[in-house]
Amino acid sequence: VEELALRLQAYRTSAVLRNRMLLLLVLALSVFTGWMLIANWRHLRRRQRAQQVLQAETNFRRAMENSLLTGMRARDLNGCVIYVNPAFCKMTGFSPEELVGATPPMPYWAPEALDRTYEVHSMILGGNAPTQGVEIRLMRRDGERFDALLIEAPLIDANGRQIGWMGSMVDVSEQK
């Protein structure tokens, strides 16, 4: 068996060399810190620009949605209302707080047309909504009746899964 020996020998360095190495180390860390600050500042600027673009897009979509005369309503797969636009609220006379979370019978369903409305509701939830829409009798908050054309389509999320139903509603009383 051969023997292995390790021998360490320390050399003295001059104070000047030590100070230069320390200075180089401090300079290198300063340059690195400066570079990191600039990189973080650039990242923050890009993020702020992206956030401004997103905010502008959101505001534009909200303006479009609020300008619609067509009532829009989204329901989950069980038929619970998860969204209504201002036109839907104006048409029915109910506030979003009164409608979101509502389950059948909905507050805007006319009592005399309850059987027909349940039939349409079941047809839609069963995936058999007619593409041309269906006419239905509804009721405003003040009790006034109106006829509406209801068109429903599957509500699809970003992953391509159906998460509910999106409906558009138009008051057709005047046309009749």
1 confidence band (pLDDT: 50, 70, 90): low
Element holding 125 (H helix, E strand): helix 114-125
The reported pLDDT for the residue numbered 175 is 78
Query: How far, CA to CA in Å, does 120 sit from each of 37, 52, 125, 136?
Result: 61, 43, 9, 8
pTM of the shown model: 0.69
Which tokens in the block code for residue 17? 């060399």
- Region 69-96: mean pLDDT is 95
Residues 117-124: contacts with CB under 8 Å, at least 24 apart: 120/150, 121/79, 124/152, 124/165, 124/167
Mean pLDDT for 147-156 is 95
Residue 45: the pLDDT is 97
**Cβ atoms of 133 and 153 closer than 8 Å:** no
Tell me: pLDDT of 15 over 90.
Answer: no
Rounded mean pLDDT of 106-126?
93
Provide, rounded to the nearest whole percent, the portion of the chain with pLDDT above 70.
Answer: 98
pLDDT digit string (tens) for 25-52? 999 999 999 999 999 999 999 999 999 9
* Edge-to-edge strand ranges of the sheet holding 81-84: 81-84, 71-76, 162-171, 145-156, 134-139
Q: How confident is the model at residue 68 (pLDDT cuts 50, 70, 90)?
A: confident
Rounded mean pLDDT of 50-56?
96
Cβ neighbors of 70 (< 8 A, separation 6 or more) are 87, 168, 169, 170
Confidence check: pLDDT of 75 > 70: yes
